Amino acid sequence: MRAGLLVLVSFATGPAWAQNSDLGFLVGVSPLKSQSTISGGTISSSVDANVQLDYSVQFKETGGWKFYIELPFAIVSHESSRVGPNIVSSERDIIFFTPGVRAKLWLHSRVSIYAAVGGGIASFGVETSTVGSSISSVSKWTTGPAMDFGGGIDFRLTRLLSIRCEGRDYVTRSNAGGFSGAHHAALDVGVGFHF
C-alpha cells in the first residue's frame, strides 16, 4: 500500500519538478472588430472575443531554445445584434483545434518569448434569429481544415505560474463556414501553469 502511494505521489509531483510542460488559459479579442453604432433609427453592435486553452509538452532543448508539442483549443466568437425594421441577433463561433510546435527562448530568468505554428481543424457555427414579419431561427455547423501561427511573451511570476501575452492568427479557407476572409486574428492575455 505504501509503495503504491509512493509511486502515485512520484507521478503526481515529478512533472512539477521537471518543468517540462505547461497549461495556458488565455482570453482576448479579435482586433479592430468591436463596435457600437446608432444611425438612421437603427441600433447595431458587435463584439468579437476568444478563449484559448493550450497544453504543451517539451520534447527538446538546445542552445537556449526549448521545443514543445502544443495542443491549442480555441473558440473565436462573433456576436452581433441590430434593432431596426427587423430585429436581428446573430452568434457566429469558430472552434479551432490546431496541434503544432512551439519554440521558446529565454531572454531573462523570468522572461521568455515564443513562436508557434500548427494545423488541424476548424468547426464553424452560425446561429441567427430574426424577428420581423415572421420569427425565424437558423442554426448550422460545418467543419474544415485550419492552421495557426503566432507568438508571445511569458513573464514568470513564480516557478509554477506566469502571465502570458500572445498574438495568433487562425487561417482557414476563404469564406469557409460563411465567415468572410481566411484570417481570424486574436490578441490574448492570460496565465500559464508550469509543471
- CATH number, domain at 102? 2.40.160.20
Dig out the grid coordinates for 127 from the structure: 446561429
| 140 occurs within a structural domain | yes
Domain that holds residue 162: 19-194
| 14 occurs within a structural domain | no
Average pLDDT over residues 1-5: 43
- pTM for this predicted structure: 0.78
pLDDT beyond 70 at 1: no
Q: How many domains does the chain have?
A: 1
Q: pLDDT tens, 64-108?
A: 899 999 999 999 888 777 776 677 777 888 999 999 999 999 999
| 8 occurs within a structural domain | no
Higher pLDDT, residue 183 or 38: 183
Residue 17's pLDDT is what?
40
Q: pLDDT tens, 18-37?
A: 569 999 999 998 764 444 55
Residue 41's pLDDT is what?
62
| 13 occurs within a structural domain | no
Query: Whole-angstrom Cα distance, residue 66 to residue 18?
Result: 13
Q: Binning pLDDT at 50, 70 and 90, where does residue 146 land?
A: very high
Mean pLDDT of the chain: 83
Q: Binning pLDDT at 50, 70 and 90, where does residue 42 land?
A: low
| 10 occurs within a structural domain | no
